[in-house]
Chain A
């Protein structure tokens, strides 16, 4: 019997619950889903993975992927994270994709928390700055954490 996507859930870090709620209350985030995706892709951009200590209430897959771009980006993230495992992108491996996403979300949110608590900016200003920086350095070719041609060659051959 296969698992339907509806059964998958993304865990959220209980230790960052206050930050998550503040992002909703003060930084215009409509839902927990948006906070987690924001944190995860920011975490991935930084290249940090952190295993969460304790899980809070999980978010269902269909809620998490309400916007179509998120399913695509989550699967791509898994593909890039496990370059020697091509079937990692498959829907039946959603649980593994979510595990990767959870680690990056924890790392991304921890980083946001540090920036927020160590500076004088509001949380809304912190997240805005992250987006502005990401868009201004958004250059597909010169991205710092991309594979080198040599790495690709080694992998493919």
Chain B
């Protein structure tokens, strides 16, 4: 999708008809617009969005006031008044003109007004066609659910990396993959399975009814645990974010800087040692759990003695063959000359030997088992060594941990007794937060284990119900229905889990790659299993979470958006092979407002350099102070359309301003104007 042109008519600040042609060539794909604060940059961003979807971003004030205020107030009650935005764009060889209009008979103040969308498609041969279902067409080209990623306000972009944003991130990704439809299907199937289970249990009898009651109770418990865990994770993120702020405040204070930095290092070390200890303990537990052979010492000894005894008696490896003894009995005489005829005393002894003599297969198995005695002995010996090694390492980690914790206590004491109200306040809050984190982590761990055990019980009970032995045609049919629905639900759950995890991993890699291109800082962004976007730094004490500055947050968010764009572009290719048509994707432009606002000069340069490669078409709107100099210089060669959003203001106190571009001065702010309005001046 490429944006070609936008026309705004009496839309919010834009009075009369205002037009902008977007740059869209491959070599110069950037449209660069300067505009003062409040001039109409955010409105232009929202005009694109409104034309396509009829919505404004959530941060826009006075959302019902779509028609220019003066145009509205100057109109007489009862007269027809309106506004429109017309967006022209190209997609897949066709050009589309989307025009959204509001028109009403004026009465009092502006309220939510009915809108009308028309979309005209002009195909590659120049034939034009007014589309019957314009909303559906637009959604198929650039889904509304992705709009937040491509039309964004830089001042609000950081919310993507805020503690509670992970759900939004996860939801958006799932939408792109069509996973939300599958989730709805899975939820429906859960209900179906529950109903079929109840139906079946009524027909199957008491035991199954009891199991069904147990199952329902376990499922209720599962739901409650999931909700609890979600809340705890959200709380943890909020605690972590606040701890970052407190830590940053302590480091920025000259009195506490040194001790705070030292404490940060020790804390990282404590964390690493705790993790190491937990990992080693888990490894030890696992090693023990898989070691049923640890108890086979006496078993092997006894088996070995049996086998050795058989060898000594000549029964192994080949021993006396049954066929040989049969021959002697047939002859009626032993090789030693003893009488083996019927009723002879020695015959009974030889018959007994024949019955107990091994057949070759049995002897072979015995020999094979005997040959494995050393395997079991080696395994026990290896286990003994491994456990000794793990125990020593756990003990080592524990000692180091104790030392570091003592050091931490001392640093906490020093910082806790540092004078100054602000320091005391920060320290007290820090301790409270640490306690909250510890207790939430504790209960989270408990709930996660409980959830795992509950799910395991659910699976076990469900299996018992599925495989219960039943009688009667009706019960059998009900069981078959239940088994079928359970299988479909299980398959859907697996697909969901695989698709979500694969998307997360792909995005995680892309974010890291893009972040690495934007900044040279040795930070590693991670999109974790819960879709939290975090930044880590490698230190001598291992990987620690970085308390992020605004600049880093913004770069992280941009990297995320660029990764989503790249992913959407890949998904467009995949969607061809998606039989269900659930996957959405495409190559989309980015329209960004105030993307450089909070960045220092170095970050501005890094972001500007990276911007060119983030999307195939970019619209950048900046204020003079944000965009002049570093940003403009970096992007100049890729700018295909340059303009100024001129702010006209009735306020005579505002200073008249101009902006110098390409050797000419252009109007930037016009004060003492007849009305407040915006206009776009193209720079050629």
A residues with a Cβ closer than 8 A to B are: 17, 21-30, 34-35, 37-42, 44-45, 56-57, 67-70, 72-73, 75-77, 79-80, 83, 86-87, 89-91, 124, 127-128, 130-132, 134-135, 137-141, 143-147, 152-153, 155-157
Chain A interface secondary structure, helix, strand, loop or mixed?
helix
- Residue on B nearest A57 in the bound complex, by CB: B463
Which residue of A39, A76, A131 is within 8 Å of B369 (Cβ)? Answer: A76
Q: Is the CB of A57 within 8 A of B286?
A: no
Q: Is the CB of B289 within 8 A of A28?
A: yes
A147-B305 contact, Cβ under 8 Å, with A30-B289, A30-B290, A56-B460: yes
B629 within 8 A of A: no
Which residue of B282, B288, B296, B467 is within 8 Å of A73 (Cβ)? Answer: B296
List chain B residues, Cβ under 8 A from A75: 365, 369
Q: How far is the CA of A84 from the CA of B309 in the complex (A)?
A: 13
Q: Is the CB of A57 within 8 A of B291?
A: no
List chain A residues, Cβ under 8 A from B452: 25
8 contacts between A and B (CB under 8 A): A21-B460, A30-B286, A39-B292, A45-B298, A76-B296, A140-B300, A140-B301, A156-B315
A22-B453 contact, Cβ under 8 Å, with A69-B375, A77-B299, A135-B384: yes
List chain A residues, Cβ under 8 A from B356: 86
Q: Is the CB of B293 within 8 A of A143?
A: no
- Residue on B nearest A87 in the bound complex, by CB: B362
Q: Is the CB of A140 within 8 A of B304?
A: yes
> In the assembled complex, how far is the CB of residue B445 from the closest CB belonging to chain A, in whole angstroms?
11
Q: Is the CB of A26 within 8 A of B449?
A: yes
Which of B295, B309, B362 has the most chain A CB atoms closer than 10 A to its own CB? B295
Which residue of A70, A87, A127, A155 is within 8 Å of B289 (Cβ)? Answer: A127
The A-contacting residues of B in range 374-410, CB under 8 angstroms, are: 375-377, 379-380, 383-384, 387
A141-B301 contact, Cβ under 8 Å, with A25-B456, A72-B372, A73-B376: yes
List chain A residues, Cβ under 8 A from B449: 25-26
Q: Is the CB of B380 within 8 A of A135?
A: yes
- Residue on B nearest A46 in the bound complex, by CB: B295
Q: Is the CB of B289 within 8 A of A29?
A: yes
Q: Is the CB of B456 within 8 A of A152?
A: no
Q: How far is the CA of A153 from the CA of B291 in the complex (A)?
A: 33
B303 within 8 A of A: yes
Q: How far is the CA of A17 from the CA of B356 in the complex (A)?
A: 41
Q: Is the CB of A67 within 8 A of B306?
A: no
- Residue on B nearest A45 in the bound complex, by CB: B295
B285 within 8 A of A: yes
> In the assembled complex, how far is the CB of residue A51 from the closest CB belonging to chain B, in whole angstroms?
20
Q: How far is the CA of A135 from the CA of B356 in the complex (A)?
A: 36
B residues with a Cβ closer than 8 A to A are: 282, 284-286, 288-306, 309-310, 312-313, 315, 356, 358-359, 361-362, 365-366, 369, 372, 375-377, 379-380, 383-384, 387, 449, 452-453, 456-457, 460, 463-464, 467
> In the assembled complex, how far is the CB of residue B450 from the closest CB belonging to chain A, in whole angstroms?
8
Q: Is the CB of B460 within 8 A of A57?
A: yes
Q: Is the CB of B288 within 8 A of A128?
A: yes
Q: Is the CB of B305 within 8 A of A146?
A: yes
Which residue of B304, B313, B365, B376 is within 8 Å of A89 (Cβ)? Answer: B365
A131-B294 contact, Cβ under 8 Å, with A45-B299, A90-B361, A152-B306: yes
A86-B366 contact, Cβ under 8 Å, with A41-B296, A135-B387: yes
A131-B291 contact, Cβ under 8 Å, with A41-B299, A79-B303, A89-B362: yes
Q: How far is the CA of A46 from the CA of B456 in the complex (A)?
A: 30
List chain B residues, Cβ under 8 A from A146: 298, 301-302, 305
Q: Is the CB of A79 within 8 A of B369?
A: yes
Q: Is the CB of B358 within 8 A of A131?
A: no
- Residue on A nearest B368 in the bound complex, by CB: A72
List chain B residues, Cβ under 8 A from A124: 285, 288
> In the assembled complex, how far is the CB of residue B319 from the closest CB belonging to chain A, in whole angstroms?
10
Q: How far is the CA of A132 from the CA of B284 in the complex (A)?
A: 12
Q: Is the CB of B387 within 8 A of A76?
A: no
- Residue on B nearest A91 in the bound complex, by CB: B365
List chain B residues, Cβ under 8 A from A86: 310, 356, 358, 362, 366
List chain A residues, Cβ under 8 A from B288: 28, 124, 127-128, 131
- Residue on B nearest A17 in the bound complex, by CB: B460
List chain A residues, Cβ under 8 A from B289: 23, 27-30, 34-35, 38, 127
- Residue on B nearest A69 in the bound complex, by CB: B293
Which residue of A28, A80, A90 is within 8 Å of B285 (Cβ)? Answer: A28
Q: Is the CB of B294 within 8 A of A70?
A: no
- Residue on A nearest B380 in the bound complex, by CB: A138
> In the assembled complex, how far is the CB of residue A129 from the closest CB belonging to chain B, in whole angstroms?
10
- Residue on B nearest A153 in the bound complex, by CB: B309
Q: How far is the CA of A132 from the CA of B464 in the complex (A)?
A: 36
Q: Is the CB of B365 within 8 A of A90?
A: yes
Q: How far is the CA of A138 from the CA of B292 in the complex (A)?
A: 13
> In the assembled complex, how far is the CB of residue B619 from the closest CB belonging to chain A, in whole angstroms?
53
- Residue on A nearest B460 in the bound complex, by CB: A57
List chain A residues, Cβ under 8 A from B467: 57
List chain B residues, Cβ under 8 A from A42: 292, 295
List chain B residues, Cβ under 8 A from A77: 299
> In the assembled complex, how far is the CB of residue A116 from the closest CB belonging to chain B, in whole angstroms?
14
Q: Is the CB of A38 within 8 A of B464?
A: no
A152-B309 contact, Cβ under 8 Å, with A29-B289, A30-B286, A75-B369: yes
Q: Is the CB of A89 within 8 A of B369?
A: yes
Q: How far is the CA of A145 from the CA of B299 in the complex (A)?
A: 9
In addition to A39-B292, A156-B310, 8 A-B residue pairs with Cβ atoms within 8 Å of each other are: A38-B292, A41-B293, A68-B375, A79-B303, A86-B358, A131-B387, A135-B387, A138-B294
> In the assembled complex, how far is the CB of residue B613 from the closest CB belonging to chain A, in whole angstroms?
45
List chain B residues, Cβ under 8 A from A89: 362, 365-366, 369
- Residue on B nearest A140 in the bound complex, by CB: B301
List chain B residues, Cβ under 8 A from A25: 449, 452-453, 456
> In the assembled complex, how far is the CB of residue B440 from the closest CB belonging to chain A, in whole angstroms?
21
Q: Is the CB of B303 within 8 A of A76?
A: yes
List chain B residues, Cβ under 8 A from A56: 460, 464
Q: How far is the CA of A131 from the CA of B292 in the complex (A)?
A: 8
- Residue on A nearest B307 in the bound complex, by CB: A79
List chain A residues, Cβ under 8 A from B361: 90
Closest 6 CB pairs of A and B: A28-B285, A143-B298, A37-B292, A138-B297, A140-B301, A41-B295
List chain B residues, Cβ under 8 A from A91: 365
Q: Is the CB of B384 within 8 A of A80?
A: no
List chain A residues, Cβ under 8 A from B358: 86
> In the assembled complex, how far is the CB of residue B635 from the closest CB belonging to chain A, in whole angstroms?
55
List chain A residues, Cβ under 8 A from B387: 131-132, 135
Q: Is the CB of B306 within 8 A of A83?
A: yes
A134-B295 contact, Cβ under 8 Å, with A75-B365, A146-B301: yes
- Residue on B nearest A67 in the bound complex, by CB: B290
List chain A residues, Cβ under 8 A from B312: 156
- Residue on B nearest A149 in the bound complex, by CB: B305
List chain A residues, Cβ under 8 A from B456: 21, 24-25
Q: How far is the CA of A38 from the CA of B295 in the complex (A)?
A: 8
List chain B residues, Cβ under 8 A from A143: 297-298, 301-302
List chain A residues, Cβ under 8 A from B299: 41, 44-45, 73, 76-77, 80
